[in-house]
Amino acid sequence: MDRIRIQGPCRLSGSVRVSGAKNAVLPEMAAALLVDGTVTLRNVPDVRDVTTMAKVLRHLGLRGLVVEGDVLRAEGGDLGEPQAPYDLVRQMRASILVLGPLLARQGRARVSLPGGCAIGARPIDLHIEALRKMGATIGVEHGYVVASCRRLKGAEFSFEKKTVTGTENLMMAAVLAEGRTVMKNCATEPEVTDLGRFLNACGAGVEGAGTETIVVDGVSRLTGAEHQVIPDRIETGTFLMAAAATGSGITVEGCRPRHLGAVLAKLKECGVALEVGEEEIVVRPDGPLRSVNVITSPYPEFPTDLQAQYMALMTRAEGVSIVTETVFENRFMHVGELRRMGARIVVHGQTAIVAGPSPLSGAPVMASDLRASACLIVAGLAAAGETIIDRAYHIDRGYAQVERKFQELGARMERIRA
Ligand code: EPZ
């Protein structure tokens, strides 16, 4: 397994361009199953999850799927057996995003249950419940979701709690269903909005993607389209926090500041000096950081996917900060590793109390999930001495060319190949 070695502390400078959003391109790739015609996605990030999703889609019979640079092309049309096997799905939970499209397109699907992961049980009961309301006969057998329907029917339902992939799965199921579907209490993340935009470019009738109520008028078929994937707001936030944690001034380019409202407000509250443009954000080194509490919540509030990186930042701030995680039940796996680096953090249930500033020292640490890895990079850049992050494959799932981007900002970071 590859490892990442960082020699800290690092002063970063210059500019970095963020890649396309992993959590936008994954549902858009799954949506290609719905389409009769050529699909072209641009600004596709070079991350492992895209490679994994491509494997799943090829297994399902999607033809002509090729990724060249940051452009993905595929020929929607006749598909093979609608089965997504365990050995592929277990590599990436987001594979469950093929369930809605397969049911809508082929009237049946057998998709392995994704299983839990480091940050929590992550059930898909809300996906299943809503698909039943659209007429699917759906059950779980031997670890697989087995679903069938003559043709999905438009229905009205409200999600018991906000679910990003649940909203995306059902939006994709509804675009070829008979009649109108009204979905309430939907996730409003920018990635949901981007998927709705792509589906409509393919001829779907989606209204309200990105709001809590989405109305979909089913159509008989979708044609191919071209689509530019939105920039990755979590990668953007990670670079901003890396700069703030190391007292650096950098420019993050090709980003979408309006997707980071709560994050930029929080960083300014911490005393981080930001200049926000249309598609770039400049961070200026500007005096000591203040400890500020944060509570993660569904969009547009502070995203759970930046909680770990923010905690690393708070170890550098003056005072005590309280980090509360409300979305996932076990998303503090990075705390033990931060403690190994000298952080002073106490966890009580869903709340972590961070005392700062703690002088961090480099140490061998273990990545447990994608965003915990990013947290350890932020901490390693700020720590004095050498940090070795084991299981770097976690970071490769969602951060394209991570060491190249940080090297170009002046970080002493390298990959130790296994
Ligand atoms: C998406 O996961 C993202 N992944 C996650 O990003 C992100 O952390 C999460 O949304 C929350 O923003 C992708 O988009 C591929 P949820 P998802 O369904 O859809 C519970 C990353 O690092 N729930 O919004 O799986 C669930 O357990 C990843 O890029 C149910 O109980 O998350 C969680 O507590 C990590 N039943 C909460 O809802 C369900 O049927 C939110 O989950 C579905 C979800």
Q: How far apart are CA 89 and CA 313, in angstroms?
A: 33
Ligand 1 in reach of 302 Cβ (< 6 A): no
Q: Write down the pLDDT at residue 116.
A: 66
* Closest residue to atom 38 of ligand 1, CA basis: 163
> How many A from CA of 183 to the centre of ligand 1?
17
Kindly report the protein residue whose alpha carbon is nearest to atom 16 of ligand 1.
Answer: 163
In angstroms, the Cα distances linking 48 to 67, 94, 233, 375, 416 are: 12, 12, 18, 19, 18
Residue for token pair 């039943």: 132
Name the maximum alpha-carbon separation found in the chain.
63
Separation between Cα atoms, residue 92 and residue 49, nearest integer Å: 7
Burial letters for 307-329: b for 16+ Cβ neighbours within 10 Å, e otherwise? bbbbbbbbbbbeeebebebbbbe
Instruction: Return the closest-CA partner of residue 15 out of 283, 251, 254, 284.
Output: 251
Residues near 268 by beta carbon (within 8 Å), at least 6 away in sequence: 274
CATH number belonging to the domain at 3-19+231-416, selected among 3.65.10.10, 3.40.50.970, 3.30.1330.60, 3.55.40.20: 3.65.10.10
The single-letter code of the amino acid at 310 is Y
Residue nearest ligand 1's atom 7 by CA: 305
Which ligand 1 atom is at minimum distance from the Cα of 370?
22
Q: Is 150 in the pocket of ligand 1 (CB under 6 A)?
A: no
What is the spatial distance between Cα 128 and Cα 133, in angstroms, rounded to a whole number?
9
CA of 384 to the centre of ligand 1 (A): 35
pLDDT at 246: 97
Q: pLDDT tens digits for the chain (418 residues)? A: 899 999 999 999 999 999 999 999 999 999 999 999 999 999 999 999 999 999 999 999 999 999 999 999 999 888 999 999 888 888 888 999 999 999 999 999 999 988 667 777 778 999 999 999 999 999 999 989 999 999 999 999 999 999 999 999 999 999 999 999 999 999 999 999 999 999 999 999 999 999 999 999 999 999 999 999 999 999 999 999 999 999 999 999 999 999 999 999 999 999 999 999 999 999 998 889 999 999 999 999 999 999 999 999 999 999 999 999 999 998 999 999 999 999 999 999 999 999 999 999 999 999 999 999 999 999 999 999 999 999 999 999 999 999 999 999 999 999 999 8
**Residue nearest (by alpha carbon) to ligand 1 atom 37:** 327
Label residues 229-253 b or e (16+ Cβ within 10 Å = b). bbbbbbbbbbbbbbbbbbbbebbbb
Report how far residue 88's alpha carbon sits from residue 84's, in angstroms, rounded to the nearest whole number.
Answer: 7
pLDDT at position 122 is 79
Ligand 1 geometric centre to CA of 332 (Å): 16
pLDDT of residue 373: 96
Q: Hey, whose CA ends up nearest to atom 5 of ligand 1? A: 305
Give 22-228's CATH code, choosing from 3.10.20.30, 3.30.420.130, 1.10.10.10, 3.65.10.10. 3.65.10.10
Residue-level pLDDT at 249: 97
**Cβ of residue 395 lying under 6 Å from some atom of ligand 1:** no
Query: 123 C-alpha vs ligand 1 centroid, how far in Å?
Result: 9
Residues of the chain with CATH 3.65.10.10: 3-19+231-416, 22-228
Residues serving a catalytic function are: 117
